[in-house]
Amino acid sequence: AQRVTQPEKLLSVFKGAPVELKCNYSYSGSPELFWYVQYSRQRLQLLLRHISRESIKGFTADLNKGETSFHLKKPFAQEEDSAMYYCAHVSGGYQKVTFGIGTKLQVIP
Amino acid sequence: NAGVTQTPKFQVLKTGQSMTLQCAQDMNHEYMSWYRQDPGMGLRLIHYSVGAGITDQGEVPNGYNVSRSTTEDFPLRLLSAAPSQTSVYFCASSRAPRDSPLHFGNGTRLTVT
């Protein structure tokens, strides 16, 4: 079965420090991977997807098929980045969207 | 432009009671799904639908029923609530989840005593 693993439940960094939120997946086919974010008192929303290869709010994520990873990175953390981040995978035929357990990012001023 | 609307926002049930969580979207999305969010467990898929009349089970379907009679609506039914179903429930929709993002509702916080 497909699985998305986020090993850290909580990540605390100081403002201005680099951020890396880890995500590993297990899937034998071509993965479709996403990062979603939930800010306090807001809806879950898409942050970025691997196929677009773009930077959103300074965040980037590169798909590494060899390591089956899709880590989310930002060179300089901002206080407004504090939120819950979920890595998600979409299966091919069944269109199931599977989420990891999420990582709470806390940016310390 | 309402997007995905969930009702109610909060609900308290007693063990054994039944209820329906409502979800409606106005974006003409074929794909709709229900998740529950629990501390330390992330978002777990309960049921999903790829179009009217078509539903399938997710990771944690036991204790929940769904139906999809229209494109717009995807209600989630708890036939006999149990304390283990205390959670925050999210409905989400998408044009096609491999190609376009999920749009989430605001969630329903359910407590079963």
- Whether B1 has a pLDDT exceeding 70, the answer reads no
CA distance B56 to A43: 24
pLDDT at B83 over 70: yes
**Among the listed residues B92, B94, B86, B90, the one whose alpha carbon sits nearest the alpha carbon of residue B107:** B90
Which residues of A fall within a CB distance of 8 Å from B47?
none
Q: In this predicted structure, what is the pLDDT of residue B98? A: 78
d(CA A86, CA A91): 16
Residue of B nearest to A6 (CA): B42
Cβ–Cβ under 8 Å, residues B89 and B34: yes
- Please tell me which of the candidates B50, B90, B97 has its beta carbon nearest to residue A44: B90
Average the pLDDT over A40-66 and give the result. 88
Kindly list the residues from chain B whose CB atom is less than 8 angstroms away from the CB atom of residue A88.
102
| B58, B96, B104 member nearest A43 (Cβ) | B104
How many CB pairs below 8 Å do chains A and B form together? Answer: 55
pLDDT band at A1 (very low <50, low <70, confident <90, very high): low
Contacts of A46 in chain B (CB under 8 A): 101-102
CB A101 within 8 A of CB A7: no
Q: In a 10 Å sphere around its CB, with 0-12 CB exposed, 13-18 middle and 19+ buried, how is residue B5 labelled?
A: middle
Cβ within 8 Å, pair B105-A6: no
As a whole number, mean pLDDT of residues B20-25 equals 98
Exposure on the CB side of residue B88, measured as CA atoms within 13 A: 14
Dihedral, A41, A53, B3, A4 alpha carbons, nearest 10: -60
State the average pLDDT for chain B. Answer: 94
Residue with more model confidence, A28 or B102: B102
CB B112 within 8 A of CB B83: yes
The pairing of strands B42-51 and B54-57 is: antiparallel
Cβ-in-10-Å burial (0-12, 13-18, 19+) of B74 comes to buried
- pLDDT top residue among A2 and B46: B46
Tell me what the mean pLDDT of segment A92-99 comes to. 78
Q: Which range is most confident: A45-59, A84-98, B74-88?
A: B74-88
